[in-house]
Amino acid sequence: MPTRNLNILVIGPDKERRQEIVAELLHHRVAAPIELEAYSQIRNLAAGAKDWNVALLDLDSDPDLCLAVVQTLSSRNPMGTVMVYAKHRDPELLMRCMRAGAREYLTLPIDHRLLQEALSRAAARRTESAGLENTGKILVFLGSKGGVGVSTIATNFAVVLNQEGASAFLLDLNLELGETSLLLGVNPQFTLADVLENARRLDRELLEGMITRHDSGLALIPGPDAVGAVQAFENGDLSRLLGLLQDQFSFIVVDAGHGLLRNGQAFLDMADTVYVVTQADVPALRNAQRYVKHLQRVAGAKVRLVLNRYDVRKPEIDEDHIAKAVGAPVDWRLPSDYQLVRRSHNTAAPLALADSPISLVIRNMAREVCGKPLQPAPKRRLRFLG
Ligand SMILES: Nc1ncnc2c1ncn2[C@@H]1O[C@H](COP(=O)(O)OP(=O)(O)OP(=O)(O)O)[C@@H](O)[C@H]1O
Ligand SMILES: [Mg+2]
């Protein structure tokens, strides 16, 4: 398998070792590899960048950080081949590397033949994957704490996005008792629990049979409806599921609930945008600040701050203070309307399908991702007294 056209990254803080790898690679007549001297430089690669085929990482300089980067790279570009190089073959580290998504573990000094074989396998994977590019965008909704309105916003956002002409999919990633089926009034035959149970043999056809459809046409996988139905899942399972959904839908809207790391890193690495949903109270804002900072550090996704139940006319904390406290500007604000939201939940009628100040914001959030002009707020009628 020709290895000439592989685009290769070499990532490692130890210059001498990096140069040894580059020199070895050049013996194999590959194009000049790109060198990154700090693990953190992968941040400069665009999220979802698939313009590299092989990434070689120095495991010894900082094994934990290296493993985190291996995981990020392999989730962002599942068809790329991630390899690590190390002085010794440590069975425990080898296991962790493989779990994080590395496909090859090379020891120094590099053996010519083994490197050639590893490059040939990478070239074969690249050929196999040609034409299988995932295109759907992953939009994650994450609560700064419980009960801030993630499910309400994500569910309605997905309904409207689908209605705006973009094929949308709603994935409820709440591992315990997801609520999207209740909010939409659907009676699913399969939930996330069934999908994850079959994750290893999941393909397009099997997934299609497990999808639930709402009257509005929105396709979804609701969260489990039994306690303890999903204990945990592996990052690889979620990447596979998201990859299959990306092949079929333009947008995958994820209700991630609250608690970021419970769901693993994969969906964040694959995400295009993460909407951090918060309310304007001190604990929620404190958490939002922590999440925004974390996301800006580890995820390549855009981060958007959504303020729910916010009264712009009588704010308890004004927007400038919120932006300063969270460390990011407020992108969207939804007013509080307890009656409307409660009625929508109790009747399972998505509130975004009728006119209201909340639905206008949700519609505009959806229009923004479709690249459509935002709709203005209706003019308030002037009332003349007397
Ligand atoms: N804009 C709003 N105005 C008034 N009430 C709202 C608004 N948004 C959400 N709520 C109310 O807040 C409560 C929590 O909403 P929701 O279930 O969407 O939050 P969540 O973040 O998904 O919660 P959980 O952490 O339990 O998953 C609900 O009772 C809902 O009625
Ligand atoms: Mg919820």
Q: Write the pLDDT tens digit of every residue in 241-284.
A: 888 899 889 999 999 998 766 666 667 778 899 999 999 999 99
Instruction: List Cα–Cα distances, 261 to 99, 105, 295, in angstroms.
Output: 16, 27, 11
Measured in angstroms, how far is the CA atom of residue 265 from the centroid of ligand 1? Answer: 25
Place of tokens 């990447």: 239
Return the SS3 of 381: coil
Q: What is the pLDDT of residue 133?
A: 55
Q: Write the pLDDT tens digit of every residue in 187-219.
A: 999 999 888 888 778 788 888 889 999 988 899
Identity (one letter) of the amino acid at 101? G
Mean pLDDT, to the nearest integer, of 223-231?
A: 75
Distance CA 270, CA 249 (A): 15
Q: In this predicted structure, which of 22-26, 29-33, 160-164, 327-331 has the lowest mean pLDDT? A: 29-33
CATH 3.90.320.10 fits 8-129, yes or no: no
Q: Write the pLDDT tens digit of every residue in 327-381.
A: 999 999 999 999 999 998 888 889 988 899 999 999 999 999 998 899 888 876 6
Ligand sitting nearest the alpha carbon of 358: 1
Measured in angstroms, how far is the CA atom of residue 316 from the centroid of ligand 1? Answer: 19
Residue of 15, 7, 99, 93 whose CA lies nearest to 45: 7
Residue of 237, 153, 161, 163 whose CA lies nearest to 201: 237
Ligand sitting nearest the alpha carbon of 180: 2
The segment(s) of the chain belonging to CATH 3.40.50.300 are 137-370
Closest residue to atom 10 of ligand 1, CA basis: 149
Q: Label the pairing between strands 8-11 and 54-58.
A: parallel
Q: Is residue 358 within 8 Å of residue 351, measured between CB atoms?
A: yes
Spell out which residues line ligand 1, taking CB within 6 angstroms.
Answer: 143, 146-152, 179, 257-258, 308-309, 334, 336-338, 341-342, 345, 358
Measured in angstroms, how far is the CA atom of residue 147 from the centroid of ligand 2? Answer: 7
Distance CA 35, CA 19 (A): 9
The segment(s) of the chain belonging to CATH 3.40.50.2300 are 8-129
CATH architecture designation of domain 137-370: 3-Layer(aba) Sandwich (3.40)
